[in-house]
Chains A and B, each alone.
Chain A
Amino acid sequence: MSSAHRVKITYCAECGYEPQTLDLAKALMLEFGARLSSIELIPWEGGTFEVSVDGQLIHSMNRDGGFPEAAAVKDAVRARLSGSSR
């Protein structure tokens, strides 16, 4: 049985990272549909742009620099999905 998979995107609202946040959320919605149980968008501050899948941080602007490539985030989600369906 597959488990629920959650994606959280924490973005700096002061910085105006909404377009990048929405683009990434849309890419994940279109790619994975109902296979994700939720995509949570968290407005934050301090130049933050972080993406986690099931509690695992897969991109941090602070740590990795810049915005993530949507393809890389999709790969990380896909890895979680395939891991749980084995």
Chain B
Amino acid sequence: MTIDRSRFDHGMTYDAYKAQMTRNRERLEENEKRVDLGKEDLAAFRGLPRPVKVLVLAEDWCGDVIANLPVLGRLARESGKLDVRVFLRDQNDDIMQRYLNKGQFKSIPVFVFFDEDFRELGHWIERPASVTEIRAKRRNQIFAAHPEFGSPDAPVDVLPEEVRVRLQGELAKMRDETTKFANAEVIRELREIATRVAA
């Protein structure tokens, strides 16, 4: 299976993707507003010598899509250099099979960068490893600071409801506090791939 212009053009634009979402659109657009694009990053994307095509695999129920696709959406809109086309993962398994996470998981979002001749520049899956790492560390710290939350590896259903609600609040706060770092890491990794495009 190869991606060519004809297949790529069948994908949805970012706005068309948003329009067909059946859930989480509000969260996605809220995240879009929160993306902080630095001048230097924006200049790097605006300065790409040629436009770059970005194929996206997504589904509207996935938390990593809701968090990270808006970063790409903002970069595309504000740089004018990224042509984004979104494909639904579950309707495009042939593409998904080509970009499995660790060769086995159907993790999304997937962003595949191509030059204008559809030569692949690189691809990006799910979220930066640095984000997974910092959130796991912060999660462990939360559990260490609150013995009432039990073990980080234990099922949450053993916790009394009131404790569970507090744990949920702590985790949401942690995610919120790490969002700025997460977005910056996504931008850094996408920039590294996009700038491989030759003049």
Contacts and interface: CB of A to CB of B under 8 A. Distances in A.
Interface of A: 8, 10, 12, 14-16, 40, 42, 44-48, 50, 52, 55, 57, 60
Contact of B155 (A14, A45, A47, A50): A50
A42 B62 contact: no
B156 to A, nearest CB: 6
A50 B157 contact: yes
Contact of A42 (B23, B63, B156): B156
Contacts, number: 37
Dominant SS among interface residues on chain A: strand
Given A15-B63, A16-B23, A42-B164, A10 B157 contact: yes
Given A42-B164, A45-B168, A45-B171, A15 B62 contact: yes
B60, B155, B164: which has the most chain A beta carbons within 10 Å? B155
Contact of B157 (A8, A14, A15, A16): A8
Contacts of A10: 155-157
Contacts of A60: 155
A32 B66 CA distance: 38
A52 B61 contact: no
Nearest to B153: A62
6 contacts: A12-B63, A15-B61, A45-B63, A45-B168, A52-B158, A57-B155
Interface of B: 23, 59-63, 66, 155-158, 164, 168, 171
A40 B160 CA distance: 13
A46 B9 CA distance: 33
Contacts of A55: 158
B157 A52 contact: yes
B189 to A, nearest CB: 21
3 tightest A-B CB contacts, nearest first: A16-B61, A8-B157, A14-B63
B156 A44 contact: yes
B68 to A, nearest CB: 13
Nearest to B172: A45
B93 to A, nearest CB: 16
